[in-house]
Amino acid sequence: MIKYDLAVVGGGPAGMAAALEAHKCGVNKIIILERAETLGGILEQCIHTGFGLHYFGEELSGPEYADRFIEQLKDTNIDVKTDTMVLDISQSNVVTAVNKTDGLLQIDATAVVLAMGCRERPRGALSIAGTRASGIMTAGTAQKYVNIDGYMPGKEIVILGSGDIGLIMARRMTLEGAHVKMVCELMPYSGGLTRNIVQCLDDFGIPLKLSTTVIETHGKERLEGVTIAKVDAHNQPIKGTEEYVPCDTLMLSVGLIPENELTKGIGIAMDPVTNGAVVTEMRETDHPGVFACGNVLQVHDLVDYVTMEAQIAGRGAAAYIQDKAAFENAEYISTTPGNGVRYIVPQKMNIHSREDIKLYFRVSAVYKNAKVVLEADGKVISSKKKVKLAPGEMENVTVPADVIASLAKDSTVCVRVEE
């Protein structure tokens, strides 16, 4: 058993930023455990640019964004173990991990930051009928094949789901010489950023078919085609709208699921909407000393927000390591998603917090010229006009420190959309 102040599970953007922030706050013995061969997480295969505008004020590619943090880590005494898989975290925050060189590692950590990221929703979860041919894969898997392994995973491509990875892959495959026939989206709106629709689809004349889904796959060995159909308001295929589209590849970009197997293993309370842990404004879960941040907590649209959230968790973990007693005195109230708001992170906030608390949330539908209203105890604290609100884009609103100071144990804080 090795003793560490802080064990960070995951060496992607969240894990690295959390570790660096904790280090900056004076935490001495920190270890990052990363399952891949290198640090950086999914950024390593996201070779497109668009990362870092908020955080660094410049537009970086995924590997470049990751590299900024990897370089910073080199200047610290933070221990990093790559190719290392965490198998279990005990009730007393003992982290069990495995790798080729150390074998089985047991780390007794005062605090743990969970930063395992998320995975893509696979085909099975969709119940698409048809054959089990090869050539049906998630957009992220295809991205790894083309960007890291240097192989074409397809030539005639249909993409289901207009999440950002799907859109990015439409452009990526087109530039590498593939023919992307269309992107189908079940919902009447895209799940991705508008700019990605413009520069990944419109630029290349790739049609985006809204309210459309793939209902069947064809082909015994390699995929030979898919049947698409329009869907009604209940997302059910409309008879008579079926269309056969020949293709050798179906890429799925139909949602991301936080990877919370370890979190659930500890018995941490989960939010059924985010599929992440329920956390406080410090990003502490309901298990003392265990924090969560990044896509394992909630699926983010921008890595910049991941970094910022991870820094909050890193500061939280440092505070916990340095003064556990303060955590015991906290009194929490819940943040309530109101009309048009799907969820809020953090789900709980400490009414003794002396700092502003930023509430991150997603809306449940597309709104135009709507207002984001923050209420405390039924009183409007702020009301901000928004030209456009979309489920694909994460929003935030700040609860000022003076408002928090006025809250009591039975206070309510609510965010809602007003049309």
Partner 1 sequence: MFSEVFAMSYDVAVIGAGVIGAMTARLLSSYRLKTVLVEKTNDVAMGASKANSAIVHAGFDAMPGTMKAKLNVQGCAMMPTVCKELSVPYKNNGSLVVAFSDEEMSTIHELYERGQKNGVPQLSVIDRETLRALEPNISPEAKGALLAKSAGIVCPYELTIAATENAVSNGVDFRRNAGVTSIEDKDGVFTLKTTDGDIQAKYIIDAAGCHSDDIARMLGDDSVSLVVRAGEYYVLDRSVGDTVSHTIFQCPTAMGKGILVTPTVDGNLLIGPTAKDIPEKDNVATTAQGLETVRTLAMKSVPCVSVRSAITSFTGLRAHPTTDDFIIGASKVNNRLILAAGIESPGLSSAPAAAVAIVNALFEAMGGEADKNPVYNPIREEPVRFRHLSDEERAALIAKNPAYGRIICRCETITEGEIIDAIHAPAGARDVDGIKRRTRAGMGRCQGGFCGSKVVEILARELKKPENEITKFGGHSNILFDKTK
Partner 2 sequence: MKKNLTCVACPLGCSITVELDDGGNILSVTGNTCKRGDAYARTEMTNPTRSLTSTVKVSGGAHPVVPVKSAAPVPKSMLFDCMKEINQVTLQAPVKIGQVVIQNILGTGVDIVTTNGC
Positions touching partner 1 (CB under 8 A) are 35, 83, 85, 87, 96, 98-104, 119-120, 122-125, 127, 129-135, 137-138, 140-141, 144-146, 148-155, 176, 215-218, 220-222, 237, 257, 259, 261
For position 53 contacting partner 2 by CB under 8 A, the verdict is yes
In terms of CB distance, is 108 or 216 closer to partner 1?
216
Gap between the Cα atoms of 123 and 171, Å rounded: 22
Give the DSSP letter of residue 92: T
For position 203 contacting partner 2 by CB under 8 A, the verdict is yes
Under 8 Å between Cβ of 6 and 319: no
Gap between the Cα atoms of 208 and 185, Å rounded: 7
For residue 144, the minimal CB distance to partner 1 (Å) is 5
> 10 Å Cβ neighbour count for 269?
14
> According to CB under 8 A, which one of 87, 125, 198, 401 is a site residue for partner 2?
198
Q: Please list the residues that pair with 212 across neighbouring strands.
A: 230
The crossing angle, in degrees rounded to 10, of helices 62-74 and 13-24 is 30
Under 8 Å between Cβ of 310 and 18: yes
Residue 261 φ then ψ, to 5°: -60, -45
For position 197 contacting partner 2 by CB under 8 A, the verdict is yes
> According to CB under 8 A, which one of 59, 232, 243, 356 is a site residue for partner 2?
59
Gap between the Cα atoms of 399 and 380, Å rounded: 11
For position 195 contacting partner 2 by CB under 8 A, the verdict is yes
> 10 Å Cβ neighbour count for 120?
20
Question: Tokens 């700019």 — which residue?
Answer: 195
Give the interface segment with partner 2, choosing from 42-50, 91-99, 257-265, 329-337 (CB under 8 A): 42-50
Partner that binds at residue 233, options partner 1, partner 2, none, CB closer than 5 to 8 Å by kind = none
For position 103 contacting partner 2 by CB under 8 A, the verdict is no
Partner that binds at residue 301, options partner 1, partner 2, none, CB closer than 5 to 8 Å by kind = partner 2
In terms of CB distance, is 42 or 389 closer to partner 1?
42
In terms of CB distance, is 96 or 382 closer to partner 1?
96
C-alpha pair distances (Å), 39 with each of 4, 66, 123: 20, 8, 28
Give the interface segment with partner 2, choosing from 55-63, 243-251, 283-291, 308-316 (CB under 8 A): 55-63
In terms of CB distance, is 105 or 345 closer to partner 1?
105
Question: Tokens 């013995």 — which residue?
Answer: 29
In terms of CB distance, is 217 or 347 closer to partner 1?
217
Partner that binds at residue 228, options partner 1, partner 2, none, CB closer than 5 to 8 Å by kind = none
For position 258 contacting partner 2 by CB under 8 A, the verdict is no
Residue type, 160: L
Q: CA 96: distance to chain centroid?
A: 24
Gap between the Cα atoms of 417 and 188, Å rounded: 20
For position 219 contacting partner 2 by CB under 8 A, the verdict is no
> According to CB under 8 A, which one of 87, 125, 148, 238 is a site residue for partner 2?
148
DSSP secondary structure string, 320-346?
Answer: HHH-HHHHHT--EEEEEE-TTEEEEES
Partner that binds at residue 230, options partner 1, partner 2, none, CB closer than 5 to 8 Å by kind = none
Residues 163-182 that bind partner 2 (CB under 8 A): 175-177
For position 64 contacting partner 2 by CB under 8 A, the verdict is yes
In terms of CB distance, is 146 or 290 closer to partner 2?
146
Write each residue from 292 to 331 as x if it is in contact with partner 2 (CB under 8 A), else as -, in one continuous string: ---------xx-----------------------------
Supply 411's token pair. 């206070």
Residues 22-41 that bind partner 2 (CB under 8 A): 37
Gap between the Cα atoms of 122 and 112, Å rounded: 29
Burial label, 299 (beta-carbon count in 10 A; 0-12, 13-18, 19+): buried
> 10 Å Cβ neighbour count for 57?
7
Binding region for partner 2 (CB under 8 A)? 37, 44, 47-50, 53, 59-64, 67, 146-150, 175-177, 193-195, 197-199, 203, 301-302, 387-388
